[in-house]
Amino acid sequence: MIRQKSVDLYRFQSECTPGYYNGEGMPRPRGESYGDGPIAFYELIRRWRAEGGMDEVLGS
């Protein structure tokens, strides 16, 4: 879900002056930011945790 909602900044960062945020002119192929913003992201995480989160992975 996070990748589906992330904003594609690759083209923008590819054309920017090289610097910290675009890996000196070589940006990552995709970003992992949540496109609906932080409040929606925190709600997504809250629900995920309430439903057990990674319990099945951690063996809890």
Tens digit of pLDDT per residue, the chain (60 long)?
667 777 777 777 777 777 777 777 777 776 667 778 889 889 988 999 999 987 776 665
Task: Give the pLDDT confidence score for residue 25 in this predicted structure.
Answer: 76
Up-side HSE of residue 40: CA atoms within 13 Å toward CB?
9
Task: Give the pLDDT confidence score for residue 41 in this predicted structure.
Answer: 87
pTM of the model: 0.48
**Distance between CA atoms of residues 11 and 27, nearest Å:** 9
Alpha helices, DSSP H, located in 1-60? 2-5, 10-15, 38-50, 55-58
Beta-carbon contacts of 41 under 8 Å, excluding residues fewer than 6 positions away, are: 2, 34
**Amino acid at residue number 12:** F
Task: Give the pLDDT confidence score for residue 59 in this predicted structure.
Answer: 65
Task: Give the pLDDT confidence score for residue 31 in this predicted structure.
Answer: 63
